Structure 1
């Protein structure tokens, strides 16, 4: 009887355990089946969104040639995202930067040029990447009454083109834009100097005008800067400095109205232009003469 009970109990226990085992197995199979189907769907969808690099690149070029700049930029960006570090991705970075630049999306363009320069500093398109960088800043240069950080960044980028890639086709235009940028910075200094001069803050004015003569000697503002130095120094009673500035002005711009006005001012005090050997102005005279046609 005991054996019978044991047999019955044992049999019941086996069936119960089998039933309990079958439930999670069935559930696992069902879940696995669903997950597998979902994963397959997601994977297929992902694979379907990836296109060959050359196809994307040619689509981007077609959009660019048709003037669809936003679409072109998106396609170039897709090449870089889907096929990173490939040859097409490398080219897409600079072409995408160009498309964004033409669309006026300067921040997006700069992000792409900076990525290119970081990844491929020695590749053929690096000069173009620096050039596009310069153009993005150049197009955002404000008038001289405002802060000039964009001007400085533009000059820095174009200098990279000139110094790193002297044989590049972008060098001449970079030099021209550097000249414009330097003229802009000199104009800003002149604007501030005039402000101080009008307020009779002569020392502050002299500092600005001297900075123009020493740092921007090949810009169109140096002529006025020298005349303003005559005026400010004369007002302070620094006649030697005033005479020396007038002498440099006369040597380099003898027919200018600025020189005539400075000469007249000195004459009103019984003075005339006179060189001052060894002064910073005599050194500036050499820089002005040698730098008139420079970058």
Structure 2
């Protein structure tokens, strides 16, 4: 009798599992939507700041309608949604795919601008938003890439409406990159690595002339040369300093 009960219980369990497997999947409200409707709804969510939903709809649009102007625009706008959703790596990957797939697209200038913007803001964490630190003290990798992205935009599309802002950001990035090198040179000075400090300071003077960091770089050169008893070089650096910053 106990064996019969166990058998019937097992049979009932199998029937229940089979019944569950026959239940319909969760209904997708977007099923049957046209490319135009998917794009319009995605755009609406993007405008309202609902970036996660916008990304979901853009991805559905690309998957169902991979060709045509809606798919092209969806790819570009989804990159912006990823950027606002704080997923910079996915945003950059999406933009690279757009640039490679549509090299003649009329909005290619915007793709380069957005790519520069993503890298420009990369590395800012929650602490930076409430307790801002000197941008020149951050890892310069993203700043350099951002500079190159903006530079590509300005060179290829000088008449683009984004070129002016890109140029201003390039000046800002250039100053910060120079300041970063001075920070490193100063670090080497404090560690008594004077040759390394000299190399960094010379790099600033050679690659970032006319930036606010140059006088600081010259001061480091003068101090390092004097410590190493390279007095002739120290006098040369001092002469340049006095001539340009009287």
Corresponding residue of 1:149:
141
Structure 1 window deviating more from structure 2 (70-79 vs 82-91): it is 70-79
Bigger radius of gyration: 1
Report the alpha carbon displacement of residue 96 of structure 1 after superposing the two structures with TM.
1.3
2:199 alignment counterpart? 207
Higher mean C-alpha deviation, range 110-119 or range 99-108: 99-108
**Relative to 1, partners in 2 of residues 1:171 and 1:141: Cα closer, same or farther, differing over 3 Å?**
farther
1:95-134 matched pairs, under 5 angstroms: 95-134=77-116
2:223 aligned with 1:241, yes or no?
no
1:86 to 62, 65, 68: 68
> What per-residue deviation string (whole Å, max 9, x for no partner) do you get for residues 146-198 of structure 1?
53221122112111111111111111211222222222222221122112212
Q: Does 1:63 align with 2:45?
A: yes
Of residues 163, 168, 172, the one that matches 1:176 is: 168
In the aligned structure 1, how far is the partner of 2:110 from the partner of 2:152?
A: 11
- Hey, what does 2:10 align to over in structure 1? none
The 1:224/1:191 distance shift into structure 2, 3 A limit, reads same
Partner of residue 7, structure 1: none
Q: Which runs of 5+ in 2 are unaligned?
A: 1-23, 125-134
Asked whether the equivalents of residues 120 and 143 of structure 2 are also in contact (C-alpha less than 8 Å), the reply is yes
Separation in structure 2 between the aligned mates of residue 229 and residue 198 of structure 1, nearest angstrom = 13
Change in CA separation of 1:141 and 1:221 when aligned onto 2, cut-off 3 Å? farther
User: How far did residue 145 of structure 1 move?
Assistant: 4.3
**Equivalent in the alignment of 1:49:** 31
TM-score, length-normalised on structure 1?
0.66
In structure 1, what is the Cα distance between the partners aligned to 2:66 and 2:174?
38
Q: Aligned-residue CA RMSD in angstroms?
A: 2.3
* CA deviation after TM superposition for structure 1 residue 251, in Å: 2.3
Q: CA deviation at 1:199?
A: 2.8
Distance 1:204 1:134 in 2: 31
- What corresponds to 1:72 in structure 2? 54
Map of 1:30 onto structure 2: none
* TM-score of the aligned structures, taking structure 2 as reference length: 0.78
What's the offset of the Cα at 1:50?
4.4
- Structure 1 segments, 4+ long, off by >3 Å, are 141-147
Deviation at 1:103, TM superposition (A): 2.1
| Structure 1 equivalent of residue 9 of structure 2 | none
Q: Would the aligned equivalents of 2:123 and 2:138 in 1 still touch at CA under 8 Å?
A: no
Query: Do structure 1's residue 253 and structure 2's residue 245 form an aligned pair?
Result: yes
